[in-house]
Amino acid sequence: MTSFQDLALGESLCRAVLTAGYENPTAIQQQAIPHVVKGTDVLGVAQTGTGKTAAFALPMIERLAGGGKAIPKRPRALVLAPTRELAVQIEACFAAFGPGLGLRSMAVFGGVSDRPQLARLARGVEVLVATPGRLLDLVAQKGVFLDRVEILVLDEADRMLDMGFVRDVRKIAALVPIRRQTLLFSATMPAAVAGLADSLLTEHVRVEVAPVATTAERIDQRVLFVSRENKRHLLTTLVKSKEASRTIVFARTKHGANRVAEHLRMEGMTAEAIHGNKSQSARQRALDEFRSGRVRILVATDIAARGIDVDGVTHVINFELPNEPESYVHRIGRTARAGRDGVALALCDAEEVAYLRAIERTIRQPVPVDEGHPFHAADIARLHQLPGRSGGPRPPQQEQRRPRRRRPVSRAA
């Protein structure tokens, strides 16, 4: 079995990793770390929960260690993340192992005052983790300069593009030196991400730990057909189960997330909503309470949830199915982490049958139907099964010729 000592990491870093309780590298770490240590550009295809943060953070720490005193306002490494939560999570990995090797790191993001961030940048850090918008704000204020960046990382590039950050990413890439190492990680590889990778990477290697758009084998996936008016009743029944000790519920919009969280609180359960309209402090407080167990249920939108990395999530419940099928993969990836089992339930009403069929095509398998719940809607189940109906299976030749169906656009989360 491969160990961290086998991956070209120094003795001091290996000791720190072992002390932290990590005995053996994950598959993505085994594949990526040796290339990153060598300075090679890497394109990584890996879902959340596979250990990809350490796959780039550990070898970056190894490469940057011993590089001299940090220069004020000029980081040597830049990691771009799509959300504040993910930026905090990534920086925590650098903070866990970097200081022992003389490296300082920090995260910058919007939603909070920029004054403390500017003050810390002025003192100098080697590793800067940032969301694109706040980083460009700090650049405009001359609070940070990117001309000394040796390593550029784009994490969750697919979500970065989904959130409309592609122009910001290209602006930032133009500010860092051409001669640099670039690492790009993405859970999926649509054409837009592949094009971005081609424009940023040079003679890169591709590492991949699972086929694109597949779902974890340890997740028990089920779809529950239910009428829209019975959805909240069914949700209440599901989350009251003793097995659902730590649950994330997904809604399509921030207003929907608020309504679901309020409903659960009225039913006597501890629940908090997390979405883009929440302040950074409110989002962090909700996450801390969820991690500690003071809150059993976290209701989230896709954008807010992408950075959630909480151990022990037993259930993911899709109260509303996503209108982008790739989001389903990211949602259910919040459970069954670190080798554990998990349950992913999808509540599907009549208007969401088309979404379910798109999800099944994306994950290349049907989602098993659970008819044993008290609100089972047999008519919606039949709608899903019937060919030629909304969301029903179509003959392959017809599906190839048919133009892409227009789907309703959800509000920004």
Domain contains 225 = yes
Instruction: Verify that 359 and 269 share a domain, yes or no.
Output: yes
DSSP E strand stretches across 286-341: 297-300, 315-318
Last residue in a domain, options 208, 231, 253: 208
Domain contains 336 = yes
Instruction: Verify that 203 and 306 share a domain, yes or no.
Output: no
Over residues 221-239, the pLDDT tens digits come to: 999 999 999 999 999 999 9
For residues 316 and 334, the answer to whether their CB atoms sit within 8 Å is: yes
For residues 359 and 331, the answer to whether their CB atoms sit within 8 Å is: no
Last residue in a domain, options 173, 208, 243: 208
Domain contains 170 = yes
Assess whether pLDDT exceeds 60 at residue 402. no
Domain contains 83 = yes
380: Cβ contacts below 8 Å, ≥ 6 apart:
225, 226, 227, 348, 349, 350, 353
Instruction: Verify that 338 and 376 share a domain, yes or no.
Output: yes
Give percent above pLDDT 90 in the chain: 62
Q: What is the pLDDT at residue 413? A: 37
Instruction: Verify that 319 and 263 share a domain, yes or no.
Output: yes
CATH classification at residue 372: 3.40.50.300
Domain contains 279 = yes
Domain contains 373 = yes
Over residues 25-71, the pLDDT tens digits come to: 989 999 999 999 999 999 999 876 678 999 999 999 999 998 888 99
Residue in the block written with tokens 């993405």? 186
Domain contains 214 = no
- If residue 24 lies in a helix (H) or strand (E), which one and from where to where? none
Nearest CA among 365, 370, 303 for reference residue 331: 303
User: Global pTM?
Assistant: 0.65
Number of structural domains (the chain) is: 2
Q: What is the pLDDT at residue 387? A: 61
Instruction: Verify that 203 and 223 share a domain, yes or no.
Output: no
Q: How far apart are CA 411 and CA 277, in angstroms?
A: 12
Over residues 377-401, the pLDDT tens digits come to: 999 999 998 764 444 333 333 333 3
Instruction: Verify that 370 and 347 share a domain, yes or no.
Output: yes
Assess whether pLDDT exceeds 90 at residue 3. no
Q: What is the pLDDT at residue 306? A: 62
Instruction: Verify that 247 and 179 share a domain, yes or no.
Output: no
Instruction: Verify that 176 and 227 share a domain, yes or no.
Output: no
Domain contains 213 = no
Assess whether pLDDT exceeds 80 at residue 261. yes
Q: Cα 9 vs. chain centroid, distance in angstroms?
A: 26
Instruction: Verify that 366 and 224 share a domain, yes or no.
Output: yes
Last residue in a domain, options 208, 228, 255: 208
Instruction: Verify that 199 and 271 share a domain, yes or no.
Output: no
Range of the domain at 187: 4-208
Instruction: Verify that 187 and 83 share a domain, yes or no.
Output: yes
Number of C-beta neighbours around residue 401 at 10 A? 8
Instruction: Verify that 26 and 165 share a domain, yes or no.
Output: yes
